């Protein structure tokens, strides 16, 4: 079963599982467009009855926790225990295992859900991912209107192609990987990038002179709220942008899980250039 199956990463996971001949069930809030070979279960991760029905006959779950309240995951964990599937949880490389509290609310939720799964005896496989390249899709409206991307200038990280994250997740779900060690794999891209770096690379792919302009917090909040983000999510994202430290960490864990090196953001930009036109 794949959660978050209609999102940027979830879609990639579903496609790859199908390519390997796996039977796939997607848990979605609303029935999606038909997808040959995929079974749809309509439900919510916080609805125990829907979860119970969706987990019947499932032997492995790819879990993305979408909410900012980790307390709501208790019912989910109870249903996972009853169904006893293997669980692969997508978490965050920003987690500090030595810290009592994490740097921002989003990372804290990931740490809390990891702990819930472990303490329940589920022995999940946790994949900690860095910033996904697909987040750049949030710039499409601005780039359709002009050549400037304006937003908060958040910390630089080793941006990872969501296709690589999906390949790693599928390798773990299907058992086609070499065990790394007792610590969660850290999925990163091959280079550390800031927002201006990403915009510049996207400009090369689009053959346009693009530039990044740091925006004030008030303007960025207003845009995100206008774009449909909830106030709680917007505030959490700003807390993350302000408190999360820059990360220079680059790992080879994508290659060790998938057998090939992680792709660059430049390659991602070329492959997805048509979406920004």
Contacts of 162 (CB under 8 A, 6+ apart): 8, 9, 12, 132, 133, 134
Q: How many CB atoms lie within 10 A of CB 1?
A: 24
How many degrees, rounded to 5, is the angle at CA 59 between CA 56 and CA 63? 90
Contact 78, 72 (CB under 8 A): no
Give pLDDT, residue 30: 81
* Residue 104 or 270, more confident: 270
Would you say residue 60 lies in a domain? yes
Averaged confidence pLDDT in the chain = 90
Report, as an integer, the average pLDDT of 133-150. Answer: 95
The burial of 270, by beta-carbon neighbours within 10 Å (0-12 exposed, 13-18 middle, 19 or more buried), is given as middle
Would you say residue 14 lies in a domain? yes
Report, as an integer, the average pLDDT of 139-151. Answer: 94
Report, as an integer, the average pLDDT of 202-207. Answer: 98
3-class DSSP assignment, residue 90 = strand
Q: How far apart are CA 187 and CA 168, in angstroms?
A: 8
> For the chain, how many residues are written?
277
* Residue 255 pLDDT exceeds 60: yes
Backbone dihedral angles phi then psi of residue 154, each to the nearest 5 degrees: -80, 170
Report, as an integer, the average pLDDT of 220-230. Answer: 65
Report, as an integer, the average pLDDT of 119-125. Answer: 92
Model confidence band, residue 261 (pLDDT cutoffs 50, 70, 90): very high
For the chain, counts of helices (H) and of strands (E): 11, 9
3-class DSSP assignment, residue 124 = coil
Report, as an integer, the average pLDDT of 144-173. Answer: 94
Would you say residue 63 lies in a domain? yes
CATH number of the domain encompassing residue 36? 3.40.50.720
Give pLDDT tens digits for 12-63: 999 999 999 999 999 998 876 667 889 999 999 999 999 999 999 999 999 9
Q: Which two tokens stand for residue 212?
A: 């990044």
What is the Cα Rg of the chain in Å? 19
Would you say residue 134 lies in a domain? no
Would you say residue 183 lies in a domain? yes
Give pLDDT tens digits for 81-103: 999 999 999 999 999 999 999 98
Give pLDDT, residue 155: 85
Would you say residue 73 lies in a domain? yes
Would you say residue 116 lies in a domain? yes
Per the structure, the count of domains in the chain is: 1
Task: Determine which of 136-140, 239-243, 249-253 has the lowest per-residue pLDDT on average.
Answer: 239-243
Domain extent at residue 172 = 2-129+162-187+250-262
* Residue 66 pLDDT exceeds 60: yes
């Amino acid at each position: 079963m794949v959660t978050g199956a209609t999102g940027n990463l979830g879609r990639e996971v579903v496609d790859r599982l199908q390519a390997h001949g796996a039977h796939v069930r997607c848990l979605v809030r609303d029935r999606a467009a038909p997808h040959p070979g995929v079974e749809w279960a309509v439900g919510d991760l916080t609805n125990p009855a829907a979860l119970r029905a969706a987990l019947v006959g499932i032997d492995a779950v790819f879990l993305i926790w979408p909410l900012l309240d980790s307390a709501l995951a208790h019912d989910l964990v109870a249903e996972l225990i009853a169904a006893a599937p293997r669980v692969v949880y997508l978490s965050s490389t920003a987690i500090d295992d030595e810290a009592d509290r994490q740097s921002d609310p989003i990372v804290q939720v990931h740490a809390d859900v990891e702990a819930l799964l472990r303490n329940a005896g589920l022995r999940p496989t946790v994949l900690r991912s860095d910033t996904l390249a697909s987040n750049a899709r949030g710039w499409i409206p601005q780039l359709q209107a002009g050549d400037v991307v304006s937003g908060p200038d958040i910390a630089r990280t080793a941006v990872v192609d969501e296709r690589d994250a999906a390949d790693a997740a599928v390798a773990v779900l299907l058992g086609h990987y070499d065990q790394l060690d007792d610590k969660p794999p850290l999925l990163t891209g091959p280079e550390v990038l800031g927002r201006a770096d990403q915009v510049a690379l996207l400009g090369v792919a689009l053959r346009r002179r693009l530039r990044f302009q740091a925006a004030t917090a008030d303007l960025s909040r207003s845009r995100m709220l206008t774009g449909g983000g909830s106030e709680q999510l917007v505030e959490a994202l700003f807390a993350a942008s302000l408190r999360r430290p820059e990360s220079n960490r680059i790992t080879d864990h994508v290659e060790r899980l998938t057998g090939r090196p992680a792709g660059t953001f430049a390659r991602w930009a070329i492959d997805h250039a048509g979406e920004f036109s």
